[in-house]
Amino acid sequence: MRTTTVDDGLYCALEAAADRRGMPVDELVNEAIVSWLADAAMDDVDRAAIERARAEAAEHGGAEFEAFFDELSKDSR
């Protein structure tokens, strides 16, 4: 177990949220951290998938979204 410092206003909000859910503050905090870590891991997986898709598109002559539409806009002038 570790100890950390939480801003007073944030702690009051945590107490209120924990009370509404009928659980102790430390349980709510642990649940929130687990959720945040899972989201962060998913973000890493998503970023890796996006980079793979970009590399594959570049291999086949694809263009980035903004560059494509910028060029399209220039051609229509």
**Long-range pairs, 52-60, Cβ under 8 A, ≥24:** none
Q: What is the pTM of this model?
A: 0.56
Instruction: Tell me the domain boundaries of the chain.
Output: 8-75
Residue 8: which pLDDT band, with cuts at 50, 70 and 90?
very high
Residue range 3-28: mean pLDDT, rounded: 94
The DSSP secondary structure of 5-52, one letter per residue, reads ---HHHHHHHHHHHHHHTS-HHHHHHHHHHHHHHHHHHHHHHHHHHHH
Residue range 11-23: mean pLDDT, rounded: 95
Residue 76: which pLDDT band, with cuts at 50, 70 and 90?
confident
d(CA 66, CA 50): 15
Residue 26 near residue 34, CB atoms below 8 Å = no
d(CA 14, CA 29): 8
